[in-house]
Structure 1
Amino acid sequence: MSKIIFFLVFAGTYVQAQNIEDKLAFKKCRKEFNKKICLSDEDNDSLLFYLDKCPNETGPIENYGCPRCNL
């Protein structure tokens, strides 16, 4: 029984993590990088690489992941 519960929790988490918010931006990212990179968040600012305007710097979501709003 515990294996079934674990599987359901894991499957639900996996499906949620794979949700693509902006399909066009994701497709553009996939042309240049691979899926693993596009779905990563190396700077840990809660924005995935393909949505992050500053993927190497931590910044708030309101600034699209950039530390300062200069976009």
Structure 2
Amino acid sequence: MPVHTLPELPSDYSALAPVVSPEIIELHHDKHHAAYVKGANDTVEQLAEVRESRADVLLPAP
């Protein structure tokens, strides 16, 4: 099962200052984006569990 990972930023948090503050970049990357990655991994895991438990009625995994 593929595991999604949070990519590293290509630059440091202050790269867009003063237009975007380093705190906003850090918040977005380390909290928001990380939550999306975790949600994707949780969903993939749940789908795998359902496929295993209901293999008789669901279509096979691609």
TM range (shorter): 0.3 to 0.5
Answer 1 or 2: which has greater helix percent: 2
What is the TM-score when the length of structure 1 is the normalising length?
Answer: 0.33
> Larger relative CO (CA 8 A, sep 6+): 1 or 2?
2
Larger gyration radius, structure 1 or structure 2 = 2
